[in-house]
C-alpha cells in the first residue's frame, strides 16, 4: 500500500472501531454504488479501463465495481483503518493507495479512464484542488463520477418525509454537540437548520456546483437524483455509525443512542454528477 502524510484530523473515519462497524451501513452505501455503476457498465467491464475508487472506505463501491467486471481498479483513501478493511476483502483484485482526493494524482499520469468518489465529496477539504488532481490523473474524455447528499447539498423544498427526517437528524446532531467536540458537528447543524428554514442562500445546489465545475475547465455530462429510503431501524444504524466515529467511549455512546428519537421513515436524496474531464 502506498502511504501519504495527509492530516486526517477532519476525517471521522480514521478509528479502527469505525472501520470495523462500517459494514453495518453497507445496505445504504451499496444503493449509491449500484446507481452510480448503472451509468457506466460498459466502460467498467472493458478490461482496458483503468478505474479509481476515491474515498473507497471499506470498498463498498469497489465490490459493486468488481461485480460489474472492473479489472484494473485502484482503491484510494486517507484512512489506513478503512483501507485495511478493503484490502481484507479484495486482496490482489485491486491496488491500494493511502491518499486524500487532494493529493492522489502523483501516482498517475493522464492514464485513468473513470474515477468514482461516492459518499465522500462532503469530506474533501478543497474541491478546486481535487478537480486539479482529477485532471492530472485522467486521460482525455475520462469520467469523474461523484455523489452528494443533503445537508451538504441543497435540493430545494422538501417533501414531508424528508422534512421529518432532516428535523430528526438536526436534533440528533444538536444532541451530539453536547457530548462530542468534533468540529464537523456545528457546521452540520447549521446546514440542517438552513434547509428546515428554507433559507437556501449560500448552500451548494446543482447550479452552484455546475458553475464550479465549469470554472475549473470541466464539463457536466450527466446529472441524476434519487432518494435513499429506509425505516427507523435503518436511521438508527446510520446514527450508530456516526456516533462510533464521534463518541469514542462505548458506554457513553450506547447511553447517548438510547436517548435519540429516530424518524418513522428515513428519506434523503442524493445527486450524481458525471463530469467529462480533459475533453477537447
Ligand X SMILES: C[S@@+](CC[C@H](N)C(=O)[O-])C[C@H]1O[C@@H](n2cnc3c(N)ncnc32)[C@H](O)[C@@H]1O
Contact set with ligand X (CB under 6 A): 11, 13, 29, 32, 54-57, 60-61, 77-79, 82, 100-102, 118-120, 123-125
Between 106 and 200, name the residue whose CB sits nearer to ligand X.
Answer: 106
Task: Give me the least distance between CB of 225 and ligand X, in Å please.
Answer: 17
Task: Give me the least distance between CB of 203 and ligand X, in Å please.
Answer: 20
Task: Give me the least distance between CB of 43 and ligand X, in Å please.
Answer: 18
The answer to whether 129 and 229 have CB atoms below 8 angstroms apart is no
Between 122 and 265, name the residue whose CB sits nearer to ligand X.
Answer: 122
Which residue's entry shows cell 432518494?
Answer: 227
Task: Give me the least distance between CB of 128 and ligand X, in Å please.
Answer: 13
Task: Give me the least distance between CB of 101 and ligand X, in Å please.
Answer: 4
Between 96 and 124, name the residue whose CB sits nearer to ligand X.
Answer: 124
Between 24 and 215, name the residue whose CB sits nearer to ligand X.
Answer: 24
CA distance 53 to 76: 6
Between 34 and 250, name the residue whose CB sits nearer to ligand X.
Answer: 34
Helices (H), the chain: 16-21, 26-38, 41-45, 60-67, 80-90, 127-137, 160-179, 183-196, 206-215, 232-246, 250-258
Reduce the DSSP state of residue 150 to 3 states and report it.
Answer: coil
Which DSSP state fits 140? E
Strand order in the sheet with 265-277: 95-98, 72-77, 50-54, 112-117, 138-149, 265-277, 219-231
Q: Which residue is nearest to ligand X (CB)?
A: 57
Amino acid at each position: 500500500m502506498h502511504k501519504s502524510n495527509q492530516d486526517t484530523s477532519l476525517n471521522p473515519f480514521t478509528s479502527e472501531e469505525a472501520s470495523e462497524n462500517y459494514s453495518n451501513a453497507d445496505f445504504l452505501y451499496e444503493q449509491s454504488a449500484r446507481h452510480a455503476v448503472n451509468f457506466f457498465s460498459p466502460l467498467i467491464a472493458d478490461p482496458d479501463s483503468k478505474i479509481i475508487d476515491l474515498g473507497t472506505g471499506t470498498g463498498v463501491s469497489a465490490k459493486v465495481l468488481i461485480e460489474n467486471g472492473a479489472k484494473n481498479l485502484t482503491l484510494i483513501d486517507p484512512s489506513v483503518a478503512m483501507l485495511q478493511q478493503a484490502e481484507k476483502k479484495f486482496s490482489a483484485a485491486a491496488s491500494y493507495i493511502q491518499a486524500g482526493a487532494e493529493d492522489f494524482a502523483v501516482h498517475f499520469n493522464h492514464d485513468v479512464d473513470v474515477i468514482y468518489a461516492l459518499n465522500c465529496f462532503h469530506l474533501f477539504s478543497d474541491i478546486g484542488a481535487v478537480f486539479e488532481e482529477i485532471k492530472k490523473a485522467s486521460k482525455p474524455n475520462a469520467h469523474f463520477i461523484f455523489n452528494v447528499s443533503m445537508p451538504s447539498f441543497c435540493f430545494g423544498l422538501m417533501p414531508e418525509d424528508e422534512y421529518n427526517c432532516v428535523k430528526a437528524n438536526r436534533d440528533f446532531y444538536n444532541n451530539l454537540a453536547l457530548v462530542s467536540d468534533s468540529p464537523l458537528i456545528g457546521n452540520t447543524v447549521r446546514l440542517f437548520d438552513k434547509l428546515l428554514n428554507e433559507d437556501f442562500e449560500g448552500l451548494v445546489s446543482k447550479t452552484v456546483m455546475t458553475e464550479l465545475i465549469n470554472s475549473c475547465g470541466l464539463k457536466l455530462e450527466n446529472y441524476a437524483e434519487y432518494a435513499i429510503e429506509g425505516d427507523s431501524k435503518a436511521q438508527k444504524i446510520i446514527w450508530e455509525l456516526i456516533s462510533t466515529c464521534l463518541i469514542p467511549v462505548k458506554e457513553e455512546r450506547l447511553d447517548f443512542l438510547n436517548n435519540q428519537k429516530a424518524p418513522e421513515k428515513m428519506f434523503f436524496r442524493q445527486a450524481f454528477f458525471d463530469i467529462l474531464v480533459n475533453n477537447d
